[in-house]
Amino acid sequence: MNSSMRQRPVVAALLATTMIAGLPIAAMAQSAPASAPAAASTAPAVTPAGAPLGTIGSITVTGTQRLEPDTVLSYTKLRQGQPFSQESLDQALRDLYETELFADVQIRNDNGALTVQVKENPVINRIVLEGNKRLKEDKIRPEIKLAPRQIYTRSKVRADVARIIELYRRQGRFAATIEPKMVQLDQNRVDIVFEISEGPKSKVRQINIIGNEKFKDGELRSQMVTKQSRWFRIFSSGTSYDPDRLAYDQQKLRQFYLTEGYADFRVISAVAELTPDKQDFIITYVVEEGDRYKFGDVKVESDIRDLSGEALTKTLPMKKGDWYNAKQVEDTVDTLSETAGLFGYAFADVSPDFNRSKEDLTMGINFRIGNAPRVYVERVDINGNTLTQDKVVRREFRLAEGDAFNSFLVKRSKDRINSLGFFQEKLDIEQKPGSAPDRIVLETNVQEKSTGELSLSAGYSSLERFIVSASITQRNFRGKGQELRTSVNYSAYSKSVEVGFTEPYFMDKNIAIGGDIYRRDLNSFRFLGNSTNDRDTTYEQTTTGFQLRAGLSVTEYISLALRYSLNFDNVTLDRATYYSDPDGAGPLAERCDPLLAGRYLCDAIGKRTTSSIGYSLIYDTRDNRIRPTRGNNVVLSQDFAGLGGSVRYVRTRVNAGKYWALGSGFIFSVTGEGGYIHSLEGQRTDPDGFPTERIRLVDRFFLGEPQIRGFNIRGVGPRVKRYFLQATTDSNGATTGYERVNGNQNVSDDALGGRIYYMSRAELEIPLGSGAREMGLRPSIYVDAGAVAGIKDPVLVNGTGSFAGYCDPTTAAPTGSTRVRATGSARAPVCGTNFSFAGGNFEEEYLGDTLKPRVSVGFGVNWNSPFGPFRIDIAKALLKEPGDDTKLITFNVGTQF
């Protein structure tokens, strides 16, 4: 920005006020500027200024309060018995003003008897800031050099005002003004008050580009970090004016043109003008595009014997005749450097030699790889870890002292250290020369972050309503990389207590061990009708158990995890609701009634023990396991239940994901998973002897929120919908049929789960400005798909062990998927119109048992809010099947997601 454009703050003159009897009285300023001292009071004379006026007979100093008279005289050259002149008196005045100790000085001459009358500058009592809201005092105070008990001077006040103004300019507030005021106190003390008018944040109103012919203004503006202020950029920090960003944007423009082949492009000028109201800036760039070039002859010459220049030339991404691209040249230099590093040449010098031809507009490039010694790791230094032990970081290094240098292994070490989650993300491993040309030092500078979490929170979830949770987690216990966690969760539908511990390197070997002990109580619910607010509890499941885990690395990217689990489950139903005769003594006493509960619920109740052993085979190349930006992972898991216990099955799952960093902060990912559970038991039957599904309800797969957004919890897959009926009669009162009773309370929706499932997701995380990132906002758009199926249509039996009729409600004839279930007064199986079942007549539909994909699209936002993690998703189901439960908006507050 031109110096003529710089705005100077308006600084008001210092005002002095004194409070007398509660009334402010303005005190006229007594001081004179140091540059224009008051003339000495002398008798009128016509003699030249340098002519002697006589000899100093005596010197008297008056008006001092803190200073001694001799101290005042020591600042001048006036001495008793010496001659003096008008010039020497003026010089004495200047000398006294330059000390900045005095507000006013006068020298009177009475025939050689000089009287020096001074008025001392006041002492500062305190510094007061008023009007600062955007910048807190702890940001401004360090910029103020004045301090209590110092001598007040105007020059120091002006300097402090300039520093505060500069501080506001760094924040983009160029309209800020500072008005310093002085409040007079007794004993020649003053309070200094800086009245601050912060003004609005200066925005960039317009960006003009002059001289561009090949590209439109909008295309060039999109390359800049600075953006024009518009309403839809409320979360962007790029709309604020920043002088440093102006130079950066010029570089961005040049980079863009160089990638398009314009090697002669230059920015002639960049001017930022502040609008008259000091609210906004208008930036104008004048550019010269020049000619467009193509690649000429491109080759690689290598002085390193292990690297063939001819072979490397064949791998170059650019070919003769392609449009010149400077970014491609830079990437090629990095690639060749990394290639040399793979062979152990850490300090290989790769330099491109350009041969520009303006006649045919070509750019020939010769990539020269200079000779360099093969490098070995001399040592590995780790700095900045105050809590984490050195060995926790060192064991993630893929290189050790004495190993041949390998740039790929250095990058891999960085990714593994980042995946620990113990340090800030901006971690780098610097490569420094060692004690000899063939030695290198790897220096890792880490910045530890908090790895302990104490959470006491209450929140609201669209899944479980009100949630209360308390947890303590230490992911770097005792600085050894161990994880210790305990948690207690309580909601309307679930309760749990869990304690877990993991040692990632048991006995300092690459073997991880861990275990969990838990107690979980689940009150499963079903929705009534289409309302997510109307629910009732179906079964209650209590699980008490533990799990032991072990894991080891097979290769750098492949690991094996083993586990053993023992669970004791007890599934119960409310007897008063779902039992035929809960208080009786007959054959139906203490029996779950399928007519009341549905056969799938009656089949689920009971106590069982599940003893299972399992493994997971993991392939993982992600750069960060916590928040990956590139790489992929595949996990194959199997669990075998039947090592004792009363449940036997094989459960198989496959998970996979791939991540791409698209540049500019965009992260695209595709993930998928699927599973199948196979029973190892023989055909199971219910107490009445009828065959039932071999896989129990609590062991099946369920899909819906939050796995597939756009659908309700367990909203995808096989289900039974029960519609309660009321009789219809003719004019004579005779029953003619049955119709469904209106109202959500007269419809129940029970998800049954399935034996096989699959789901996939494609998601794009969208970057926001630095202001939104500081708030912890991470939006994304996504497509979810999946399905679950593979169970038998549950068959209903009545309380006597006989098959209850599947009847059309009008004709009383047997029917297929839509049927009426009811019995007569004697509970005999009937298929007619004589319904007198105490629980009411009903009609059931079995729906959703298909692997046809359900698909939804939507967008969501993660927010690390001050009151806990928050996520909201808005998703629309595009493909669904009859019976599926959809949901547009879901959110979670105060609980992890």
pLDDT digits (tens, 9 = 90+) for 177-227: 899 998 888 888 889 999 998 888 888 889 999 999 889 988 899 888 888
Q: Please give the residue that has the higher pLDDT: either 181 or 239.
A: 181
Tell me the sheet residues that pair with 521: 495, 542
- Angle 489-565-894 from CA coordinates, rounded to 5°: 20
Residue 469's pLDDT band (cuts 50, 70, 90): low
* Of the candidates 567, 451, 557, 564, the residue with the CA atom closest to the CA atom of residue 513: 564
pLDDT band at residue 781 using 50, 70 and 90 as cut-offs: very high
Joined together, the tokens standing for residue 785 give 């798909």
Residue 721 is predicted with a pLDDT of 81
Report whether the peptide linkage leading into residue 706 is cis, meaning its omega lies within 30 degrees of zero.
yes
Average pLDDT estimate for 402-408: 83
What's the first-to-final CA gap in the chain, in angstroms?
48
Lowest-pLDDT range of 184-188, 287-291, 560-564: 184-188
Torsion of CA 229, 865, 451, 415, to 10 degrees: -40
Residue 127 corresponds to which amino acid? I
Q: Which residue has the higher pLDDT, 453 or 765?
A: 765
DSSP secondary structure code for residue 358 in this structure: T
Q: Token pair 């040399």 is at which residue?
A: 340
Q: How far apart are CA 716 and CA 718, in angstroms?
A: 7
**pTM, entire model:** 0.58
pLDDT value at position 754?
A: 93
- Per the model's pLDDT, the better-predicted residue between 143 and 658 turns out to be 658
The mean pLDDT of 715-721, rounded to a whole number, is: 88
Residue type, 601: L
- Inter-CA distances, 141 with 135, 146, 704, Å: 10, 10, 55
Task: Give me the DSSP letters along 485-544.
Answer: EEEEEEESSEEEEEEEEEESSGGGSSEEEEEEEEEEEEEEEEEETT-SS-EEEEEEEEEE
Tell whether the model's pLDDT for residue 640 goes beyond 80: yes
Considering the chain, what is the average pLDDT of its residues? 79
3-state DSSP helix/strand/coil % of the chain, to nearest 5: 15, 45, 40
Measured CA angle at 319 (ends 313, 321), to 5 deg: 145
User: Distance (Å, rounded) from C-alpha 833 to C-alpha 531?
Assistant: 31
Q: 432 pLDDT band (50/70/90 cuts)?
A: confident
Report yes or no: 283 and 251 within 8 Å, Cβ to Cβ. Answer: no
- Residue 525 in this model has a pLDDT that exceeds 80: no
Residue 526 has what pLDDT?
Answer: 62
Q: Tokens in use for 364? A: 């020939």
Q: Which residue has the higher pLDDT, 603 or 886?
A: 886
pLDDT tens for 482-493 read 888 888 887 767
Helix (H, G, I), strand (E, B) or coil at 75: coil
Rounded distance, CA 143 to CA 160, Å?
7
**Cα–Cα dist 665/201, whole Å:** 26
Summarize pLDDT for 650-683 with one digit per residue, the tens. Answer: 999 999 999 998 877 889 999 999 999 999 988 7
Q: Read off the pLDDT of each residue in 548-567 and give the average, rounded to a whole number.
A: 91
pLDDT in tens, 36-64: 344 444 444 445 656 778 888 888 889 88
Query: Which one is predicted more confidently, 20 or 188?
Result: 188
Top pLDDT among 205 and 893 is at 205
pLDDT band at 322 (very low <50, low <70, confident <90, very high): very high
Q: Check residue 865 and give its pLDDT.
A: 63
pLDDT at 798: 38
pLDDT digits (tens, 9 = 90+) for 74-103: 888 888 888 888 888 888 899 888 888 888
Q: Which tokens belong to 537?
A: 């509890």
- What pLDDT does 70 receive? 87
| pLDDT for the residue 625 | 78
The model's confidence at residue 12, banded by pLDDT at 50, 70 and 90, is very low
Q: Which of 159-173, 442-456, 877-891 has the lowest mean pLDDT?
A: 442-456
Name the phi and psi angles at 602, rounded to 5: -60, -35
* pLDDT at residue 7 is higher than 70: no
Residues 454 and 470 sit within 8 Å (Cβ to Cβ): no
Output phi, psi for 621, to 5 deg: -120, 15
- Give the whole-angstrom CA distance, residue 11 versus residue 388: 52
